[in-house]
């Protein structure tokens, strides 16, 4: 049985239109989630440890002001295209499109004002909430009027995030959620004691601006082989890695499949990621530097959280051999990711 509650969370600044931001609280007997109508942001996600104690396991802020200022996409819906597009450029039907460059020479996570920085229209469901927005033709340089629905539903230990979209012109689209997790509880120092596994036989090597080189490399015999669980801190040391910020290539198919699992031995918390998406970006919070004041005055240093962003492969619009990232008029974009929380 899931209960859904809505309440006021704040108002947008006048220069942003001053609209009201609501918070939706989804609660089952084992999980409690709070989600904003601004950016579809997951602000709180509480799960039980093996002793039945709840802790909030996602990074974020106590107030709307934290989210309207610059921050690393904590908890937000990302679009039109998650991850990086090389030089912010692509060509469709002979026409070149130029996007805003917000990540060195590249466009990242939808540009200057992506889906994470706008108000969505909410609709309460029996066990969740659905958000809608129309991304107009030309927004952030992307073609086509894009109708987008992001739906969060909570059932027992499982949080489902469904993304649907329709377009008036062919456009690239890749939607994800950018929650930062620490299963010890948000505000904990690092995630080195977490054990992680990712069901991927290959990954995408990147250049020094984090754009895939085009190679699809086998994980076998490398630090990217996470098919068996590894303890993160020891694994980074063993392979002299500064952290992960890489796309892992998942087995293709439209069916739900288990793609990643994280276990935190001290608390017993586990998180499974199931998805229909072709890729998952594993990011270990390498750019967190302790400068942001988060919830309860916590600071978030480097490696104090991890992200498992289910999505299409980065820069797929410029790499014909990557999974198709284009949505055509008359088609429906439809992907779901499930986060399942348990204790072991």
Alpha-carbon 275 to chain mean position: 12
195 among known catalytic residues: no
Catalytic annotation, pick one of 22, 46, 109, 178? 178
Judged by DSSP in three states, 146 sits in strand
199 among known catalytic residues: no
- Residues sharing a CB contact under 8 Å with residue 252, sequence separation 6 or more, in sequence order: 278, 323
Domains of the chain: 3-343 (2.70.98.10)
Would you write out the chain's pLDDT as a tens digit for each of its 344 residues? 999 999 999 999 998 889 999 999 999 999 999 999 999 999 999 999 999 999 999 999 999 999 999 999 999 999 999 999 999 999 999 999 999 999 999 999 999 999 999 999 999 999 999 999 999 999 999 999 999 999 999 999 999 999 999 999 999 999 999 999 999 999 999 999 999 999 999 999 999 999 999 999 999 999 999 999 999 999 999 999 999 999 999 998 889 999 999 999 999 999 999 999 999 999 999 999 999 999 999 999 999 999 999 999 999 999 999 999 999 999 999 999 999 999 99
Catalytic annotation, pick one of 34, 303, 309, 335? 309
* Cα→Cα distances 132→159, 174, 251, 310, 326, Å: 19, 16, 30, 20, 20
Give exposure, 164-186, as e/b (b: 16+ Cβ within 10 Å). Answer: bbbbebebbbbbbbbbbbbbbbb
pTM of the model: 0.98
How far is 108 from 287, CA to CA, in rounded Å? 14
């Amino acid at each position: 049985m899931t209960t859904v509650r809505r309440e006021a969370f704040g108002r947008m600044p006048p220069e942003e239109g001053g609209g009201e931001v609501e918070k939706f609280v989804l609660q089952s007997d084992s999980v409690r989630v709070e989600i904003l109508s601004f950016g579809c942001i997951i602000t709180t996600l509480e799960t039980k440890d093996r002793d039945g104690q709840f802790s909030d396991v996602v990074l974020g802020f106590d107030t709307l002001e934290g989210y309207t200022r610059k921050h690393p996409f904590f908890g937000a819906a990302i679009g039109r295209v998650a991850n990086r597009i090389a030089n912010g450029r692509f060509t469709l039907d002979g026409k070149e499109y130029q996007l805003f460059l917000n990540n060195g020479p590249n466009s990242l996570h939808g540009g200057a004002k992506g889906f994470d920085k706008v108000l969505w229209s909410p609709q309460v469901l029996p066990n969740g909430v659905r958000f809608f927005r129309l991304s107009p033709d030309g927004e952030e340089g992307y073609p086509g009027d894009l109708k987008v629905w992001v739906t969060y539903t909570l059932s027992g230990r499982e949080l489902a995030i469904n993304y649907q979209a329709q377009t008036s012109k062919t456009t690239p689209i890749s939607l994800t959620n950018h929650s930062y997790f620490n299963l010890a509880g948000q505000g904990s120092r690092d995630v080195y004691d977490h054990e992680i596994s990712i069901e991927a036989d290959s990954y995408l090597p990147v250049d020094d601006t984090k754009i895939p080189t085009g190679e699809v490399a086998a994980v076998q015999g490398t630090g990217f082989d996470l098919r068996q669980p590894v303890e993160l801190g020891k694994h980074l040391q063993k392979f002299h890695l500064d952290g992960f910020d890489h796309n892992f290539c998942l087995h293709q198919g439209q069916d739900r499949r288990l793609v990643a699992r994280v276990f935190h031995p001290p608390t017993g918390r586990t998180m499974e990621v199931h998805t229909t998406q072709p890729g998952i970006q594993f990011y270990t919070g390498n750019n967190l530097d302790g400068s942001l004041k988060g919830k309860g005055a916590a600071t978030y240093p480097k490696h104090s959280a991890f992200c498992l962003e289910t999505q299409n492969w980065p820069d797929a619009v410029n790499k014909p051999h990557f999974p198709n990232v284009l949505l055509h008029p008359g088609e429906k974009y439809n992907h779901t990711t499930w986060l399942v929380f348990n204790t072991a």
